[in-house]
Structure 1
């Protein structure tokens, strides 16, 4: 008889702690089920500070708040706590500076230097030299 009582107590405690554990990690479950953009941060807050009522409440409220995503037709609004989305950064596109114009002589010297260092074979050098000279004569 005594062992049945201990088994029943163990089962009761196991179920009790399972229910408490699920309630404890409820904000994390909600955040992951809703695919919240800050679900990993919510999980850290939930695990680290969930033992306090305030930490658990903050994590739950954050997990339940709507997060505005670009391209979404939802008008759920922004939570104001989204750390990694809606960070608008303004920037201006500018044209790159023009490349310096090199003369034909400078380009031939550069190609010859590549040939001497072994970066170009004689056949490659001759082809690039012919292309450079034909382009130089058409510009004049």
Structure 2
């Protein structure tokens, strides 16, 4: 082929055929991303990254396609973390309310003294420990 001359017709047909082939392969390659964006999947950008980075392998392409097609449209609210229970397929947004635990019940002085006496009777504490704890409870100095 000389400069300025036209390529033969069969070369032009081959280039067009090759271009259409690359276009079809490219569309198939990014199909998981197309599905994710068309379904407005909450993790569509992550699916796009996985599709572009690992789509050349059949496994990466398959993972991206399955993820794009799963759990994007669920009706109603769920109490668990997504369809898997682990919040893998959809980032659930769930409002929670933090409630302060009720305060511990205050024990009366007589109950505390009974408890200390019970510990003394069972032998869990000695008489000296009992006297010290009782004095601390009553707010007086222990007798020595």
TM-score interval (norm. to shorter)? 0.5 to 0.7
Identify the match of residue 53 of structure 2 among 43, 48, 51.
48
1:7 to 6, 9, 12: 12
Within 1, Cα distance between the matches of 2:34 and 2:51? 10
What is the aligned length? 90
Query: Runs of at least 4 residues of structure 1 off by over 6 A?
Result: none
User: What is the CA distance between 1:21 and its match in structure 2?
Assistant: 0.2
Which of 70, 86, 97 aligns to 2:92? It is 86
Determine the C-alpha separation between the residues in 2 that align with 1:33 and 1:66. Answer: 14
- The aligned residue for residue 66 of structure 1 is 71
User: Which deviations, in whole Å up to 9, do the C-alpha atoms of 1:86-137 show, x marking residues without a partner?
Assistant: 265755156xxxxxxxxxxxxxxxxxxxxxxxxxxxxxxxxxxxxxxxxxxx
Deviation at 1:78, TM superposition (A): 1.9
2:22 aligned counterpart, secondary structure: helix
Confirm whether residue 33 of structure 1 aligns to residue 23 of structure 2.
no
Which structure: greater helix fraction? 1
**Contact 1:68–1:78 (CA<8 Å) still a contact in 2?**
no
Whether the aligned pair in 1 keeps the contact of 2:70 and 2:89 (CA below 8 Å) is no
CA distance in structure 1 between the aligned counterparts of 2:39 and 2:77, rounded to whole angstroms: 14
Gaps of 5+ in 1: 95-140
Does structure 1 residue 57 correspond to structure 2 residue 62? yes
Q: Match of 1:55, SS?
A: helix
Residues 33 and 44 of structure 2 are in contact (CA less than 8 Å); yes or no, is this contact kept in structure 1?
A: yes
CA contact (8 A) 2:55 2:61 kept: yes
Provide the C-alpha distance between the structure 2 equivalents of 1:63 and 1:26, rounded to a whole number of angstroms. Answer: 9
Radius of gyration: which is bigger? 2
